Chains A and B, each alone.
Chain A
Amino acid sequence: MLFPTIDFGLFFAFSLTLVWSLNSYNTLKKAVLLALSLAFYASWNWRFLALLLASGAISYLVGLYVDAEARRPYRRLALGIGVALDLAILGYFKYLDFFIAQFLTLAHALGLNPSIGFVNVTLPVAISFLTFHAISYIVDVYRGRLPASRSPLEIVLYVSFFPHLVAGPIVRAHEFLPQLASPPRAGDFSFGENLLLILGGLFKKMVIANYLAVHFVDPVFTDPTQFSRFDLIFAVYAYAIQIYADFSAYTDIAIGVAALLGYRFPQNFNQPYRALGIGDFWRRWHMTLSRWLRDYLYIPLGGNRHGALATARNLMLTMVLGGLWHGANWTFLIWGAMHGVALVVDHAWRRSAAFARFGEGPIARVVDWAVTFHFVCFAWLFFRSPSLDAALQFIAGVWSDNGAPNTMPAIVLPLIACGALTQIVPPQTRGAIGAVLDNRGPAFQVACGFALLYGIVVMAPPGSAPFIYFQF
């Protein structure tokens, strides 16, 4: 059930009324939200519902034990077992075949022929996000950021809540569970702003991301040897806009839908292509993943507390694992490693005497932006390519031109410009327009909502490709 479909439109319309009609009965409301979330997940593959429930059960039981146990070594052991179980589930479904393939390659190189086969298991939708939510809960309980919940219902609802289930944002346990304690109040949320968030998300996905993907980016990345240097370079820029429009659309819709149901999710994007430096980029791009990696991986590894070398090692490890989290492929690993190296360099540069002297002027800021943006785009090339060979072919094509004519459709530049506009418009604009909507009557609200939806339907191509982050 993709967000921009009739299926989800009907599902959400039904859920909205049902959930608010139960607002005075909080436990029943949570049970209904859980049932809706399970139904949402089952719409992809009901066989994996057991996985969802198992993940919730592990989190619930480990949380209870960690909270009740006073002896630190036992708490640590329970935490370790809980995290290992969550990672084992992720590892089995997502990485086992990758590691078997690497092992077989190495064995064949050494002249061995081990009798190991691939497991060929179907990758469950949302497995990575599910794992991160589950780990967040038990670590938050271990660190004392929140008490263990006595309600298994709340824990399973936390890991499976349908707006964030498939592609985030990654809502940490201490951000979400306290919201379940009492019924939400509609007055705490801006209807206008969240309506605009959802409609803006639909526009970004259905118009910008879909057109860029289908008519330019996908064909170029499928066979880069058939395209000119000009096409190849613009395909990278187009992909940078496509992945932003696609992923931020999903999280915008998720945040808006959750808010209209009475639950607050954290912001996930903050105009990332305005970033000055890679560190700044990661404070703006997939912010909930960055914070998760910082709090649950980088800081436990030692963070920046043990000198420059250890900091560099921790940054590299965090980013390589963050890259690998996206998928079992060398391209993701290289993408993560590139960002790791860039973060180490960025970290050193911003603490240098040269930066203090030259780094703050207007020209330096323009250079900073240009270097950051083009590095991010170059790294996307590896992220998007289906294999390392394909990425190298792509780069070779940029060098040699492939002798192909330019074929970039005319629509690409306006779409890139539209995407660029989302990075320039002041972030408070949506809140201001939302406040105007809030202060007008229902007729005006209906007229605005309808007009925007009408425009999106007019412009959207038939059908909708899955969101990029579904595969992660």
Chain B
Amino acid sequence: MTDQPQKPASATSPWNWARVIYAALALTVFCFPGGLVDWLDERNESGWLAAPLALARAVDAASAAVGIKQAGQGLRKAFADAIGEGDG
């Protein structure tokens, strides 16, 4: 860790840190929505996560509609194939 007293406000505000982290996580979820849907689904036995699960499924559908989800899946598969870890 380094101390840098002359940093701009965007680097010294924890609210900005949170915004940046949330945005990066949200974008990642949009690109790979399946993980969050599965995670919520596994914990939704009593239905208490119905609302976030519905939201996650909507994100999943939106991601699939614009092709982002398939792109992510394709890259993961391509990487797995490249290192010899594909389905076959």
Contact surface of A with B, Cβ cutoff 8 Å: 6-7, 9, 13, 16-17, 20, 23, 186-195, 211, 215, 255, 259-260, 262, 264, 409-411, 431, 434-435, 437-442, 445-446, 449-450, 453-454, 457-459, 461
User: Once bound together, how far apart are the Cα atoms of A195 and B19, in whole Å?
Assistant: 13
Interface size on B, residues (CB 8 A): 38
Using Cβ atoms and an 8 Å threshold, which residues of chain B touch A191? 11-12, 16-17, 20
Q: Please list the 10 inter-chain residue pairs (A to B) with the smallest Cβ-Cβ separation, ordered nearest first.
A: A449-B24, A438-B11, A187-B12, A20-B14, A411-B83, A450-B24, A446-B23, A431-B2, A186-B14, A450-B27
Question: Do A13 and B22 form a contact, CB below 8 Å, given A450-B28, A457-B32?
Answer: yes
| Contact call B18/A16, Cβ cutoff below 8 A | yes
B11 touches A215 (CB 8 A): no
CB–CB A6/B36 < 8 A: yes
Q: Give the residues in chain B near A255, CB-CB below 8 Å.
A: 1
**Contact in complex: A411, B85 (CB < 8 Å):** yes
Shortest C-beta distance, B13 to chain A (Å), equals 6
Residue of B nearest to A184 (CB): B14
Residue of B18, B21, B36 touching A449 (CB-CB under 8 A):
B21
- B contact residues vs A (CB 8 Å cutoff): 1-5, 7-8, 10-25, 27-28, 31-32, 35-36, 39, 72, 75-76, 79-80, 83-85
B85: chain A residues within 8 A (beta carbon):
215, 411, 461
What's the nearest-Cβ distance from chain B to residue A211, in Å?
A: 8
A247 to B35, CA, bound (A): 25
Which residues on the B side are within 8 Å of A441 (C-beta)? 10
A439 touches B7 (CB 8 A): yes
Residues in chain B near residue A7, CB distance under 8 A: 39
23 contacting pairs across A/B (C-beta < 8 A):
A16-B18, A23-B14, A186-B12, A186-B13, A187-B5, A187-B7, A215-B85, A409-B83, A409-B84, A411-B84, A431-B1, A438-B7, A439-B11, A445-B10, A446-B27, A449-B20, A449-B21, A449-B23, A450-B28, A457-B28, A457-B31, A458-B72, A458-B79
B83 near A435: Cβ-Cβ < 8 Å: no
Interface of B is mostly: helix
Main secondary structure of the interface of A (DSSP, over half): helix
A431 to B8, CA, bound (A): 16
- How far, in angstroms, from A156 to B2 measured CA to CA in the complex? 28
Residue from A6, A449, A461 in contact with B35 in the complex, judged by beta carbons closer than 8 Å: A6
Chain B residues near A446: list those with CB within 8 A. 20, 23-24, 27
Q: How far is the CB of B78 from chain A (nearest CB, A)?
A: 9
Measured in the bound complex, the distance between the Cα atoms of B61 and A197 in whole Å is 33
CB < 8 Å neighbour of B18 from A20, A189, A457: A20
Inside 8 A of B18's CB, which chain A residues have their CB? 13, 16-17, 20
How far, in whole Å, are A190 and B2 apart by their CA atoms in the complex? 6
Known: A411-B83, A411-B84, A411-B85. A190 touches B72 (CB 8 A): no
Across the two chains, which residue of chain B brings its CB closest to A438?
Answer: B11
Chain B contacts for A194, CB-based, 8 A: 1
The chain B residue sitting closest to A211, CB to CB, is B83
Cα distance, A134 to B65, chains bound together (Å): 54
Least CB distance, A402 to chain B, in whole angstroms: 23
B4, A435: Cβ atoms under 8 Å?
yes
What residues of A have a CB within 8 angstroms of the CB of B84 in the complex?
A: 409-411
Shortest Cβ distance from A256 into B: residue: B1
Q: A435 — nearest CB in chain B belongs to which residue?
A: B4
Instruction: Verify B28–A188 contact, CB threshold 8 A.
Output: no
Cβ A193 vs Cβ B2 within 8 A: yes
- The smallest beta-carbon distance between B17 and chain A, in angstroms, is 5
